[in-house]
Amino acid sequence: MFGKARGVDRRSWLLFSAVSVLWGIPYLFIKIAIADLSPLFVVFGRTAIAALVLVPVALARRQLPSLRGHLGFVITLSLVHIVGPFLLISYGELYITSSLTGLIIAIEPVIIGLMLVRSEPFTAVRVVGLVLGFGGVAALTGIELGGGGRGVLGAAMVLLATTSYALATILVQRWGSGIPTAALTAGTQLSSAVILAPFAAFALPAGHVRVASWSALAVLGLLCSAAALLAFYALIGAVGPNKAGLVTYVNPVIAVALGVVVLHEGLRPGLIIGSVLILAGCWLSTRPVRRPVPEQVAVGQAGSSTS
């Protein structure tokens, strides 16, 4: 899957496994953290902790100067990729389970495919993928929530966060590809923490906060943000963006497993039906379009040539 060289394979698989786990566990730890801490404070704390790790990394790699002239883009990306979706997910988890959250987030590739319809036109397979993906979300919200108002609101918030993630991915591809990854991740985490700081000052915990909640916040910042971003970009460097993106299919499985085992959320039919539909939709909607190779006709002889 990741190549033929044994050494590269081992490192790539380790990175793939690490990213899959680190991006599959945040919904569990968000659920634990918001039991005692406000969602706003959780998002601020997560980004501040991540910035404390990533800024020194970018400084050590001498990449921070590359952000000059890109301040507007960094702030925009911070709002679209971190501040907005992190808040939506954290507030959404007040009303829905961590398992449901992880599965809705998994629809991101389907949304990206819908946004890129002009550059990647619809095919029959892609249309089926989009229908299955959104059908999976509908099945999850309908079967799992039973039409409950607050539950639907929470699911809608997470779906909006997923849409914001998809938009951020396109923004990075089009306008951020020339910025070193360590600098971009450090800049977005730091600017997100700065943006949120004045609001977080009014959301400080008023009562007793359990060790579990503080620990969950530390895991979110150190592992799910800082370590996961560094590992993901290392994975891209090892196997390329397309294969690195396969973590999308593993993250929701981990999220559901942790929700069921740790939080006892229950493995109900809606989770199984929705997860199958969403993962199938992601796979179908992101399959590359095969373009026919034009025949090359020589003088007096028709045939094909390879180079």
Q: What is the DSSP string of 160-207?
A: HHHHHHHHHHHHHHHHSTTS-HHHHHHHHHHHHHHHHHHHHTTS---S
Task: State the sign of the Cα–Cα–Cα–Cα dihedral 148, 154, 159, 160.
Answer: positive
Check residue 222 and give its pLDDT: 97
Check residue 295 and give its pLDDT: 43
3-state class of 293 per DSSP? coil
Check residue 135 and give its pLDDT: 73
- Which residue in this structure is represented by tokens 């970018």? 58
Dihedral of the alpha carbons of 204, 208, 213, 214, in degrees to the nearest 10:
70
Which residues are registered as beta bridge partners of 297?
Answer: 302
Cα separations (Å) of 224 from 24, 27, 181, 229?
9, 10, 17, 8
- Which residue in this structure is represented by tokens 């909607």? 285
Number of residues assigned to the chain:
307
Residue 120 has, within 13 A of its CA and on its CB side, a CA count of 19
10-residue stretch averages of pLDDT, the chain, 307 residues long: 51 87 94 96 97 96 92 95 96 90 82 69 71 70 61 89 90 86 94 97 92 97 94 82 72 84 79 75 66 42 39
How far is Cα 232 from Cα 239, in angstroms, rounded to an integer? 11
Check residue 207 and give its pLDDT: 87
pTM score: 0.82
Check residue 54 and give its pLDDT: 96
Check residue 285 and give its pLDDT: 64
CB distance 81 to 201 below 8 Å: no
How far is Cα 70 from Cα 212, in angstroms, rounded to an integer? 38
- What is the token pair recorded at 226? 């800082």
Of 154, 126, 129, nearest to 140 by C-alpha is 154
CB distance 48 to 199 below 8 Å: no
Dihedral of the alpha carbons of 225, 17, 140, 120, in degrees to the nearest 10:
90
Would you list the DSSP string of 9-73?
HHHHHHHHHHHHHHTTSHHHHHHHHTTTS-HHHHHHHHHHHHHHHHHHHHHHTT-GGGGTT-HHH
CB distance 120 to 107 below 8 Å: no
CB distance 155 to 145 below 8 Å: yes
How far is Cα 111 from Cα 129, in angstroms, rounded to an integer? 11
CB distance 113 to 290 below 8 Å: no
Check residue 160 and give its pLDDT: 95
Strands (E), 60-144: none
CB distance 42 to 90 below 8 Å: yes
Check residue 305 and give its pLDDT: 40
